[in-house]
């Protein structure tokens, strides 16, 4: 989990740069395309509009279950939970979750002190006041969802 390497199950999301973070072009789950932008399936031309997100083969039938895991405690597995539920998904035990801290996160290990004054609602981060201005433009908003 967390990297694309041999022996690991990877979920990959491919983006058109103009729609990054808003509309994924293709979602590959466990090696199969699970979701993609597609026009009308009944169209007689290859590029019909509107192009909309639609489930693909990797999201149908047993493919979705075989490309994912249920993360549960080792005690749940030892107690027979997978057999009782009789799901198609694989069950994988998780360990040491209480030992993971913010310091273990790559590229996101900062823990600043954030204070909010209950009377004035003034916000400070590590003692420095924060004065956010109203947004002039909202990225990833309505303009991307006409179709």
Give me the number of domains the chain comprises: 2
Containing domain of residue 85, as a range? Answer: 68-102+111-129
* In a shared domain, residues 96 and 78: yes
Residue 14 confidence (pLDDT) above 70 = yes
- The secondary structure of 21-72 as a DSSP string is TT-EEEEEETTEEEEEEE--TT-SSSS-SS-EEEE-GGGSTTHHHHT-EEEE
Inside any domain, residue 141: no
Is 58 found in the same domain as 10? yes
Q: Do 4 and 56 lie in a common domain?
A: yes
Does residue 90 sit within a domain? yes
Angle at 8 between CA 35 and CA 61, to 5 degrees: 35
Query: What tens digit of pLDDT does each residue of 68-123 get?
Result: 889 999 999 999 999 999 998 899 999 888 899 999 998 899 999 999 999 999 99
Q: Is residue 144 part of a domain?
A: no
Residue 1 has pLDDT above 60, yes or no: no
Does pLDDT of 45 surpass 90?
Answer: no
Do 39 and 2 lie in one domain? The reply is: yes
Mean pLDDT rounded to a whole number for the chain: 88
Evaluate whether residue 17 is within a structural domain: yes
Distance between start and end Cα atoms, the chain:
33
Of the chain, the percentage scoring pLDDT greater than 70 comes to 97
pTM, whole model, 2 decimals? 0.67
Are residue 21 and residue 72 in the same domain, yes or no?
A: no
Report the pLDDT value the prediction gives residue 35, as an integer from 0 to 100. 93
Using alpha carbons, select from 102, 78, 100, 101 the residue that is nearest to residue 91.
78
Per-residue pLDDT tens digits for 112-132? 999 999 999 999 999 999 998
pLDDT value for 136:
86
């Amino acid at each position: 989990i967390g990297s694309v390497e041999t022996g690991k199950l990877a979920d990959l999301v491919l983006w058109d740069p103009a729609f990054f973070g808003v509309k994924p072009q293709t979602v590959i789950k466990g090696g199969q395309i699970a979701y993609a932008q597609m026009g009308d399936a009944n169209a007689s031309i290859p590029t019909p509009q509107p192009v909309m997100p639609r489930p693909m083969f990797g999201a149908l039938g047993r493919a979705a279950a075989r490309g994912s895991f249920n993360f549960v405690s080792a005690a749940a597995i030892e107690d027979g939970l997978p057999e009782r539920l009789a799901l198609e998904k694989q069950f994988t035990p998780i360990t040491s979750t209480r030992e993971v801290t913010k310091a273990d996160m790559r590229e996101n290990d900062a823990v600043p002190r954030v204070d909010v004054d209950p009377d004035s609602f003034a916000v400070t981060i590590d003692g420095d006041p924060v004065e956010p201005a109203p947004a002039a433009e909202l990225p990833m908003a309505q303009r991307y969802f006409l179709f």
